[in-house]
Copies of this chain bind each other. A is one copy, B any other.
Amino acid sequence: MDFQPILDEINDELRPRLGQVGGKVASYIPALARVSPQQFGIALRTCAGDTAAAGDAAVPFSIQSMSKVFSLTLAIRSLDEALWDRIGREPSGSAFNSLVQLESERGIPRNPFINAGAIAVADRLVSLGDAKAELLAMLARLCGEPIPIDAEVARSEADTGFRNTALANFMKGFDTLDNDVAEVLDVYFNQCALSMTCEQVACAAGYLCRDGRHPLAGTPVLSPAQARRVNALMLTCGTYDAAGEFAFRIGLPCKSGVGGGIMAVVPDRLTLCVWSPALDPTGNSLLGRQALELFVAKTGLSVF
């Protein structure tokens, strides 16, 4: 299948909707609130190494929660099954429930993609070594080039991250974090501030459509079973409270971020990244979601 014309069509179809649709750019951090919503990019990379891209696919954006896939990957590499001692693997049911469930489930987050879960993953990484450096090193290897952290975004996250500070202290109170709260949050806030382009994300996530093998080198990043499990978690928990809806309408493992990016995996075929900053009420990129629906409709690709 030649994907470039398909991405061009999607770009042509969606670009006129920029600024018309009702989405809103994430505003909890000044550095994010300043991003122009008038941007849309899409890029993919097949298992064979072919690439296609359209629109603002080379513009860097804040990957935010998409980073949870990479930190999870790093933790699974070192801990495999032991990672799951203090993190669950079930959908959380509701945005509001994250704290509710954390209370009734005594500090064990539902899954690694809600904030509490990603903070718990960061805690494990801190126990294993220099988490920030390890993450940057893994991403550099996956992309073939260094990935920067946006220092202003990281600082803003820290300055305004009261809810995440609450979550981390809450878990610490249940004794389910091993390390100092501030140190764990520093890793978490920095990973959220990673700045990548659609092309880089599509490349970096490539191991997820290749049974865990490195997109460029072919060496194992994860085992085949581990890669399948990350995909399963993305499908059931990767898009906040819209995971059921994404599975229903798009049918691909996806992970979104409030920066407006969404990565998607077509197992054994390709990885894809879309980006457009304006978000729908579930916190997922409004045009990004439409782009994925169009992609699935045009290609017939779906895991189901």
Contact = CB atoms under 8 A, between A and B. Distances in A.
Interface stretch (A10-18, A60-68, A96-104, A272-280): A96-104
B173 A169 contact: no
Interface in A230-259: 231-233, 235-237, 241-245, 247-249, 251, 253
A303 interface: yes
A77 interface: no
A124 to B, nearest CB: 18
Interface in A158-182: 162-163, 165-170, 172-173, 181
A229 interface: yes
A304 B168 CA distance: 32
A249 B167 CA distance: 28
27 contacts: A88-B244, A89-B245, A90-B243, A91-B91, A91-B243, A92-B93, A93-B93, A93-B101, A96-B104, A99-B170, A162-B170, A162-B172, A162-B181, A163-B169, A165-B165, A165-B166, A166-B166, A166-B167, A166-B170, A169-B169, A228-B251, A228-B302, A229-B251, A232-B244, A232-B248, A233-B244, A235-B235
Give chain A's interface secondary structure class: helix
A267 interface: yes
B304 A267 contact: yes
B97 A93 contact: yes
B248 A244 contact: no
Contact of A166 (B173, B231, B247): B173
A172 to B, nearest CB: 4
A46 interface: no
A94 interface: yes
B91 A93 contact: yes
Contacts of A89: 244-245, 248
Contacts of A100: 99-100, 103
Which of A167, A168, A237, A304 gathers the greatest number of chain B CB atoms within 10 Å? Answer: A304
